[in-house]
Amino acid sequence: MTRTWNRIDPIRQIEFANAVAVEIERVLARQGKVTNSDAVVAAGRVAGAVAAAVALLAPTDISAIDTMQERLPGMASRFVRILAAEAAERRARTHLSTAHEGQGADIQRLAGTGDLDSMRVEDWAGRVAGSTFLQQNLDISRSTLHRWQRSGTVVALRTGGRKHVFPLAHFIDGRPAPGIKEVLSAMPDPRHAWSWLIGPAPGLAGRIPIEMLKRDLVAEVVLAAQNAAMAKSA
């Protein structure tokens, strides 16, 4: 017996999204305009998820969307760029978490000896980006980024001259993770602070500080940062 469509049933929503995805993939494959198989699959999944979300809207909201047809392509393009940036950020976080299980101690050792200053940022800090990328993909304006940098709420790593890059792993929904300002207050050197944030911290039972900040465990991380800074200066 076929079940009727239930707008609030998450299982039915997933089934509906998957069905739309399959149809979209078939259309793209038949048209032959998208030759990248990964792009075909991704397009199907995104289209399916969007269709399922639209199906949950109230009739008045759907009618409102109909009045914005000419703006939909641009809005969809922006949505996809933001989605891709968030996916890249999540992948970077996963990579950092995995990589630093074995490398974090080495990074912190280099920070302690001062050798970190002679290394390229890209070789130890994970995925970083400049202001142009952040504006285009995370919708962070240059003025906002400059304000965050001046107030010490974002990690800015100098790459030469006056140019700075920013670790993608410390942004959540286009904003720096909570507690970054307090950590930078305890550790004013951005390189030292970031190397500490991405490595297993002895004062936190080997946990990764930046991942803890993203879970709102700010007080624990800030206290550990203050203790680590005092131990370094002792």
Domain boundaries, the chain: 1-60, 88-233
How high is the pLDDT of residue 118?
62
How high is the pLDDT of residue 113?
45
For residue 3, what is the DSSP state?
P
Residues 6+ positions from 15 with CB-CB distance below 8 Å: none
How high is the pLDDT of residue 5?
46
How high is the pLDDT of residue 185?
96
Taking a C-beta distance cutoff of 8 angstroms, is the pair 226, 216 a contact?
no
Taking a C-beta distance cutoff of 8 angstroms, is the pair 55, 8 a contact?
no
How high is the pLDDT of residue 132?
92
pLDDT along the chain (234 residues), means of 10: 51 81 86 78 87 85 87 86 75 57 51 60 87 91 95 92 89 93 95 92 91 93 94 75
Q: What is the pTM of this model?
A: 0.56
How high is the pLDDT of residue 93?
57
